[in-house]
Structure 1
Amino acid sequence: MKPQTSTTEVIELCLLIGRIMLQNGAETYRVEDTMTRIAASYGKEEAQSFVTPTGIVFSLSQVEPSKLVRVSDRTTNLSHVTIANNISRKITAGDLDIQAAHEQLTKLDQAGVKFSMPTQIAAASLASGCFAIMFQGHWSDFLPACISGGVGFIALLAFHRFFEIKFFAEFLASLIIGALAFTLLSFGLGSEADKVIIGSVMPLVPGLLITNAVRDLMAGHLVSGLSKGAEAFLTAFAIGGGVAIAFSIF
């Protein structure tokens, strides 16, 4: 049996875990299900939530006021989603009181990315080379794909700091990847420009976003599914536009 908790504490806990999960790449229906389960574990069976990719509306009952949380920054960090899921299971099982749960979630929210920036760049670079080989490129394309992919990922991170609209950053990063790939091939590094470029842009492709859009649509969350699908389409269009301009120049 859980100790008596105030309505405000339950609302703040549900909104905190919902925001953490949504910011780090969780599906809309998973966020809503987690929030309602936590509320039900504290006896709030009538809790209602409405989650979109940019915000959360939550209320414990028809007589309680609703509360809105704006979500503007979103990234992909599935380890944070997993930890938040584990905390929610402990809450619903009664193994974690509301104060301890709030402290753990606050600590998780304040924690940065699990991997350092050089590690992320190295992973993107290596993945680019492996994708180039996977798409039937020659082994001579591995090194230029690694270089182009690593430089493109660095450009993406740098441009994200200067442009509020992330599509500009993805467009410029893909343009740099295309230009660098053709430059490397002109110096004799690599044999097929298309394989090098395809492998290099793969770290920029919104794979999780596309997956979540489909899963939200299948779960009946049409607003979130369509909006995530539109975001994924714009991202893919930005990447394709940058590569197309590189092809037209070179």
Structure 2
Amino acid sequence: MKSDRRRVLTLAVCAGEIMLKNGAETYRVEDTIVRICKVYGISNVESFVTPTGIFVTVDYENGSDEPITFIKRIKTRTIDLNKVSKVNTFSRSLMDTRYSIENGLRILKDIESYPTYPKYIRVFCAGLASSFFGALLGAGILDFLSSFTISMIVFLAVNYLERHQANFFIQNALGSAIASLLALLFVYLGFGINLDKIIISSIMILLPGVAITNAVRDSISGDLISGTARGVEALITAVSIASGVGIIMNLWFHSLGGRF
């Protein structure tokens, strides 16, 4: 029945959308969509996923009915690997327990609305993770505490920009600019010693580590369009971070006539 195929397709695309929005690789999203469709008896399914869209077509093998195509535009993306893992587990559990379409959609809606860690924990962990990068680089206790404080402020600033729908270039450029400005002030006032270590560790939370990893994994899996797109996204993010740091550094040192 065409209506049954549409309901199955809705379930599969909903699962793929949650995964793609939360940082999953495109090949994993494609595999999940195909697996869900096959569990519900649709064996002839084609799935094509890019970082900004999902395209799925299902058809009967004997061509007894017209195919159905579903397109889903992905406009926002973040990193929440816990949700990716939950959807992945859900799709694999269908092999043992075949839920009704309604129950499956209900489970996916629960996963989508699953709460993240409290904000104070995320802020604290952002500061802790960044400051320990400074420790790996040989930063002292003052540099460690400086980068810890700056990273938490940068995290809050980027979160604020994200809530107000600023694009990722602006978010990273302003975030790195704030990190550089605060690092310069901390060293200028004597709260830090090594400017380079403080800046490097403070911008660690902005670096596109997941995007680079997914770009490599998608390229290795043969998804060259997705791999290239994610690679360009990582490159633009890196350029925005460098721009924010460079602009602030130039303005600071030119305003002081080359002196610190």
CA distance in 1, matches of 2:148, 2:251: 22
CA RMSD across the alignment: 1.4
* Equivalent residue number for residue 34 of structure 1: 32
Q: 4+ residue stretches of structure 1 with deviation over 6 A?
A: none
Return the TM-score normalized by structure 1: 0.94
Deviations 1:48-76 (A, max 9, x none): 11101111011112731211011101000
* Equivalent residue number for residue 52 of structure 1: 50
Larger radius of gyration: 2
CA distance in 2, matches of 1:188, 1:150: 20
CA distance in 2, matches of 1:65, 1:163: 33
The aligned length equals 245
CA distance in 2, matches of 1:100, 1:55: 25
Match of 2:105 among 71, 96, 102: 102
Contact 1:52 1:224 in 2 (8 A): yes
What secondary structure is seen at the aligned counterpart in 2 of 1:93?
A: coil
Contact 2:218 2:224 in 1 (8 A): yes
Gaps of 5+ in 2: 61-65, 253-260
Shift of 1:92: 2.5
User: Which runs of structure 2 are paired with 1:45-194 in the superposition (5 Å)?
Assistant: 45-61=43-59, 63-112=66-115, 114-194=116-196
Q: Which residue identity does 2:97 align to in structure 1?
A: G
Contact 1:91 1:97 in 2 (8 A): no
Greater CA drift, 191-200 or 159-168 = 159-168
Gaps of 5+ in 1: none
Shift of 1:163: 4.7
Do the aligned partners of residues 162 and 106 (structure 1) sit closer, same or farther apart at CA in structure 2, a change above 3 Å counting? closer
Percent identical? 36
CA distance in 2, matches of 1:139, 1:125: 14
Contact 1:26 1:78 in 2 (8 A): yes
Return the TM-score normalized by structure 2: 0.90
Contact 1:125 1:147 in 2 (8 A): yes
Q: Which residue identity does 1:176 align to in structure 2?
A: I
Contact 2:172 2:237 in 1 (8 A): yes
Shift of 1:122: 1.1
